[in-house]
Amino acid sequence: MAAPETSTAAVPTLHTNNTVRNAFGGVLSFFILLLIGVLAFSIRLFSVIKYESVIHEFDPYFNYRVTQFLTKKGIYDFWNWFDDRTWYPLGRVIGGTVYPGLTLTAGTIWWLLNSLNIPLSVETVCVFTAPIFSAFASWATYLLTKEVKGAGAGLTAAVLLAMVPSYISRSVAGSYDNEAVAIFALIFTFYLYIKTLNTGSLFYATLNSIAYFYMVCSWGGYTFIINLIPMHVLLCIVTGRYSSRLYIAYAPLVVLGTLLAALVPVVGFNAVMTSEHFASFLVFIIIHVVAFVYYIKGILSPKMFKVAVTLVVSVGLAVCCAVIAVLIALVASSPTKGWSGRSLSLLDPTYASKYIPIIASVSEHQPPTWPSYFMDINVLAFLVPAGIIACFLPLTDASSFVVLYIATSVYFSGVMVRLMLVLAPAACITSGIALSEAFDALTGSIKFQLPGVSTDAEVDAGETSSDTTEAQNDEVKAEKPEETSKDRRSKKSKKKEREHVERPSAKAKVKTKAEKKRLLALPLEASAVSLLLLIVLGAFYVVHCVWAAAEAYSAPSIVLTSRSRDGLHVFDDFREAYSWLRHNTDVDDKVASWWDYGYQTTAMANRTVIVDNNTWNNTHIATVGTAMSSPEKAAWEIFHSLDVKYVLVVFGGLVGYPSDDINKFLWMVRIGGGVFPHIKEPDYLRDGQYRIDSQATPTMLNCLMYKLSYYRFVETDGKAYDKVRRTEIGKKYFKLTHFEEVFTTHHWMVRIYKLKAPKNRIRGKTKKSKSKTSSSSSSKTSGTKKKNPWH
Amino acid sequence: MEAPIRATHILGFALFFLLFFVCRSSPLHDLLISSAERRIDLTSHIVKVYLTLKVENAGSSPTSEILLAFPPTQVDHLATVEALVTKGKRKKTTLVRLDVKPTELPDAPNGTKYFTIYLANPLNSGESTTLEVLYLFTHSLEPFPAEIGQSESQLVYYRDSALILSPYHIKQQTTFIKTPSTKVESFTRVEPTNRAGTEMKYGPYEDHPPYSSSPILIHFENNSPFPVVEELVREVEISHWGNLQVTEQYTLVHGGARHKGVFSRVEYQSRPTLSGTSSLRYLLARLPPRVHSVYYRDEIGNISSSHLRTDSRKSELEIEPRYPLFGGWKATFIIGYGLPLQDFLFESSDDRRYLNFTFGCPLLETVVDKLTVKVVLPEGSKDPSAVVPFPVEQHLETKYSYLDVVGRTVVVMEKKNLVPSHNSHFQVHYTFKPIFMLAEPLMLASAFFLFFVACVAYLHIDLSIRK
């Protein structure tokens, strides 16, 4: 809006020329956005090209399975789905415990395509959902940044987000996880919030609550929104920026958003009962009090107002104290203070490692290292501070939101690697602002310095986006520059009155601006060199992102490849094992494995598992952990009591696959020991060191996990050299008495054992064997037996 | 052994006379077989029987029909029967294929089933001719023991009769049985019986009346894997833009002795000759030449262990299942490939088009229990008709593929119990107007056009209520 306005003021004849230029700019930015979308989509296809169109990793397999169920059975069966294939014998209510956003999105896309007679399989739709939504996310970033700092910054931020490695890591083709759609929903919700804040339109406020609803459907990270927006509102109120626009942006969001959030089964009454949401209600009350005060201030004389304030403050303080005391008492009565474990570990980073080993055991819940920042956001890490500074010049409601967003997300990403994902959009937005401001300043000064162009400089200055933002400061209603006088006349007429008021000041601004420009202009050489350097920096970022997308983040992790002198080696052992289970075991057989492989087993092998990646029942996981860390007989008894027929272990010792069960074993001991105290971690450690060689403790060498992993391993090379631990194993020759090997994959990465049927009881024999075991086994094992939870 | 044989003889005679009196008028007993030689090949799991018959017309009237008889237990496993007659003399002999059709006779003894061979030229009285008959049995080797461990070898039973079952008098007959190895646990002796190396010889037996039989049982080692495709669905999709897309869905099972107990990878890898000898490690599919975009996958993704070799005459796809198949183990997979259309689609004289494609399963040495061939014709094609060299069940379906409106006609053909010799060509004729090829591009173009028009219209219409 500002651009055509100032130009008409300066040179009236330029008006038509500028309209054409703006229209051209609009078309250009449309095509740039289209290309950004294509870029965001195609940079994520490396996994399909290098590997295949397949679902990745662990959680995506569950989402894929749910989507299959949804497309096969329909939405009502989906809400009522009780899954008896997992958590045997407990089962799991899927409809009420899953964030349905992703599934419903992919299901809708599939349904739409099929009703147009485009017969894509559910798998294909699931694989490509994430890249599609990352294109949407970059468009949403454009919109958000445009609201904050104009179209130039928007385009830059969108390009940066389209290929930020942190986001690529969660949204490559096949990575069918909640985050894929949630990041789009997050950015879009923020955009609509800023848009409402800038326009004060109730229409956008309603859209904002719907976007928030979509976010709640998609990801547990929605609590970030419902805490960040209140924080921003509070910030605005404290810094004296309260306006009716702020009220419209916030109050409908809380009311509608909370109502809508409560509709999602997995959230339900949590939307009003847990501490994560309390901040929003508190700020909701505050904003009403503030609104009321402003209203009263408007109708009372200043003297009367002062009296009223003292009266209200004294009464109000008393009431507030009482309410807060009640709230604190309520919250304190619950053991976790009303916070969920994951949220608590965000506030207190040491919480999980102290109390919940199951959260601490997940690698993506660990704090990140410095290199991972460089890996995931690369040069953005250096541009972010510049962007924050740019946000303060000048500070608007919108730019203060961006500052708050980047500050909180930096903190959260410092607690959990996984939340680097929330940081990425914020980093892109601030870096986009920084880059675009820098380009503006540099190109502006080059333009200013170059002879011949300098006469136009005054006019051009009016069009640069930095100017737009300055104008935005005065009139927050800055409209899209491409909005010509032809369309949306009605909207324009509404704003005319306001502009009339501001026009004289704007005119004055233009004159002073030219002066300012002259002062701020950099020398030609310096600006040219720094422009070049910025381009090099951008190029470095692009190269890094493409490398990250192609090499680091595109491996599907269920199929591994290694390059050696004699060509490409493919390790497809996981699917070999799952396929074997699927076709050669009974449909109702139960398979026990560590919980990492639960989702994959149910999705790929279609067999019932005991525990899976939805770690909702710690005791159940601890039972499996206990069985894995017990000696063979005790383990057999635990598994037998759980009706388990097959035990699956992942073993990397033959080919050197490091994330196998032996390396995860200490977590099994810890989690098992957390519930069943007879499993003690020190029993498995020799002098505090975890080892499986000849120095290992007898408890370690006799536990089930060791035996199942290394059974007959010595026969492969004669020495039993473990390539992951880089040592020869401690106990090489042993027999299994209660388990038998039924399948081992080609590279030994997955080994499946069957529980032997219980022996027929012959009176004399059982007695004999019992006395034998008790006499032969150490006191520790007999102690184990007594404390065995399954007796 | 003697007593039951005599009993069957007596029974046979009784039946013979009974039949003789009941159907005197039929030319059945005017024929006699002067000599018969049968070679049974047991080397793979498909039992191949080559029968050479010298047929003589001893009656007075010429006849052109010759009957073959099969016991009911064998007829269920019978996959195919072919008959050839030698023409010409001495060196210039050529083989001519004859029609063979299953026939029902009103009073067949003990449920015997018949196939009739139709001679091209009627056999006059007193003349004789030589017929070559080839028939194949599937699922006729019964593993015994039915379950074996990983390192044991696979032993099977084969049951047959030492005498050829025939409605005609056979003057002289001999049967040769070839086993895959010299390891034969036991076999029934019907004197004279000889065994030398991998071959056993029953006979010669002289002058046996119609329907005589003498059961034999051979117990021998057969370590070849028994690949059985329980169900195969082949979908052939014709696109007139120049491509023929074939998708084949397999449910493969190892039909040999069931695997029992432990599977040890270390033994399997270190002693491949001793351990798991009868396991199914790889399969070879013979695909048409000029095949492209071949894929091999199953429901959980691509299977990386396959090789494709192509030359100008054929393409060979060597595939390995995800895991070696032991007896009773199953695997499912999908093979898909594209072919240039001009190799398979032709225009016939009456302005119709026809597809000429192979019917059976491209995997070598594989039995298919149930095969469904679906030919998806392009949208808008009419009057489909299929010509298949053997009887199949047929019906039509409709399939909706990319942006179809009326759907594509699908000719579905089903057949049970197939062997590789069913890989003969079949034809599907249909009419198709080339203008239909443009339907979908035009539809897309108009949809986009309408979309843009709507956009332009939206931008130019002022919908505001208040000016």
- Strand A689-690, strand A685-686: pairing: antiparallel
B459–A487 CB contact, under 8 Å: yes
Mutation site for B-interface testing, chosen from A64, A115, A117, A749 by largest number of B Cβ within 10 Å: A117
Q: For residue A98, give the DSSP letter.
A: S
Q: Does B268 reside within a domain?
A: yes
Give residues with Cβ within 8 angstroms of A748, minimum separation 6: A573, A651, A653, A654, A655, A713, A716, B265
Cβ contacts of A711 on chain B, cutoff 8 Å? none
Q: Does B2 reside within a domain?
A: no
B194, B221, B248: which is the final residue of a domain?
B221
- The CATH number linked to B297 is 2.60.40.1730
Closest residue, chain B, to A61 (C-alpha): B300
Q: Does B451 reside within a domain?
A: no
Residue A764 confidence (pLDDT): 59
Q: Does B307 touch chain A (CB under 8 A)?
A: no
A117–B264 CB contact, under 8 Å: no
Residue A113 confidence (pLDDT): 93
Closest CA to A632 of A567, A716, A705, A721: A705
Of B266, B300, B402, the CB nearest to A578: B300
Same domain, yes or no: B306 and B410: yes
Lowest-confidence region among A398-407, A782-791, B23-32, B51-60:
A782-791
Query: In Å, what is the CA distance from A98 to each residue of A64, A92, A220, A656?
Result: 13, 10, 10, 35
Residue A475 confidence (pLDDT): 41
Q: Does B304 touch chain A (CB under 8 A)?
A: yes
Same domain, yes or no: B174 and B235: no
Residue A403 confidence (pLDDT): 93
Q: How confident is the model at residue A5 (pLDDT cuts 50, 70, 90)?
A: very low
Q: Does B4 reside within a domain?
A: no
Through-space distance between the first and last CA atoms of chain A, rounded to whole angstroms: 77
CA dihedral (A200, A202, A205, A206) in degrees, to 10, reads -170
- Read off the pLDDT of each residue in A337-345 and give the average, rounded to a whole number: 66
Residue A771 confidence (pLDDT): 45
- Cα–Cα dist A417/B83, whole Å: 74
B467–A493 CB contact, under 8 Å: yes
Cβ contacts of A576 on chain B, cutoff 8 Å? 322-323
A776: pLDDT strictly greater than 50? no
Of B298, B401, B404, the CB nearest to A579: B298
A460: pLDDT strictly greater than 60? no
Most confident of A99-113, A334-348, B402-416: A99-113
Q: Does B9 reside within a domain?
A: no
Lowest-confidence region among A9-13, A672-676, B119-123, B246-250:
A9-13
Task: Transcribe A215-248 into DSSP letters.
Answer: HHHH-TTHHHHHHHHHHHHHHHHHTT---HHHHH
A395: pLDDT strictly greater than 50? yes
User: Per residue, what are the HEC states of A663-716?
Assistant: HHHHHHHHHHHHHCCCCCHHHHEECCEECCCCCCCHHHHHEHHHHHHHCCCHHH
Residue A193 confidence (pLDDT): 95
Its ipTM equals 0.87
Closest CA to A556 of A176, A43, A181, A125: A176
Residue B49 confidence (pLDDT): 93
Amino acid at A616: W
Closest CA to B389 of B410, B359, B365: B359
Cβ contacts of B331 on chain A, cutoff 8 Å? 579, 583
Number of Cβ pairs < 8 A linking chain A and chain B = 87
Instruction: Tell me the pLDDT tens digit for each residue of A749-774.
Output: 999 999 998 887 766 555 444 444 44
A296: pLDDT strictly greater than 90? no
Residues spanned by the domain of B331: 227-440
Closest CA to A404 of A414, A392, A394: A392
Same domain, yes or no: B287 and B415: yes
Quote the radius of gyration of chain B (alpha carbons, Å).
Answer: 29
Residue A455 confidence (pLDDT): 46
Q: For residue A419, give the DSSP letter.
A: G
Residue A335 confidence (pLDDT): 61
- Cα–Cα dist B54/B169, whole Å: 12
B189, B221, B253: which is the final residue of a domain?
B221
CA distance, residue A21 to nearest chain B CA (Å): 18
Q: How confident is the model at residue A695 (pLDDT cuts 50, 70, 90)?
A: confident
B264–A583 CB contact, under 8 Å: no
- Strand A646-650, strand A590-592: pairing: parallel
Residue A137 confidence (pLDDT): 95
A205: pLDDT strictly greater than 90? yes
Cβ contacts of B403 on chain A, cutoff 8 Å? 116-118
Same domain, yes or no: B402 and B260: yes
Residues with pLDDT less than 50, chain B: 1-5, 7-8, 11, 13-26
Instruction: Tell me the pLDDT tens digit for each residue of B373-382.
Output: 999 999 888 8
Same domain, yes or no: B275 and B366: yes
Same domain, yes or no: B297 and B407: yes
A604–B300 CB contact, under 8 Å: yes
Name the residue with tokens 């759609």: A181
Q: How confident is the model at residue A494 (pLDDT cuts 50, 70, 90)?
A: very low
Q: Supply B272's token pair.
A: 């491949």
Q: Does B462 touch chain A (CB under 8 A)?
A: yes
B322–A119 CB contact, under 8 Å: no
Same domain, yes or no: B137 and B87: yes
Domains of chain A in start order, with CATH, are 189-338 (no CATH), 568-755 (3.40.50.12610)
Same domain, yes or no: B420 and B328: yes
Interface of B with A in 342-401 (CB under 8 A): 400-401
Number of domains in chain B: 2
Give residues with Cβ within 8 angstroms of B125, minimum separation 6: B30, B57, B58, B59, B60, B61, B62
Q: Does B453 reside within a domain?
A: no
A477: pLDDT strictly greater than 50? no
Residue A474 confidence (pLDDT): 42
Q: Does B402 touch chain A (CB under 8 A)?
A: yes
Q: For residues B1 and A308, which has the higher predicted lDDT (pLDDT)?
A: A308
Q: Does B6 reside within a domain?
A: no
Same domain, yes or no: B217 and B265: no
Same domain, yes or no: B246 and B138: no
Whole-number average pLDDT of chain A: 82
Burial class (CB in 10 A: 0-12, 13-18, 19+), A513: buried
A131: pLDDT strictly greater than 50? yes
Q: How many CB atoms lie within 10 A of CB B195?
A: 15
Same domain, yes or no: B282 and B213: no
Instruction: Tell me the pLDDT tens digit for each residue of A641-651.
Output: 999 999 999 99
- Read off the pLDDT of each residue in A532-557 and give the average, rounded to a whole number: 91
Same domain, yes or no: B307 and B394: yes
Task: Transcribe B319-380 into DSSP letters.
Answer: E--SSPBPTT-EEEEEEEEEEEGGGTEEE-TTS-EEEEEE-S-SBTT-EEEEEEEEEEPPTT
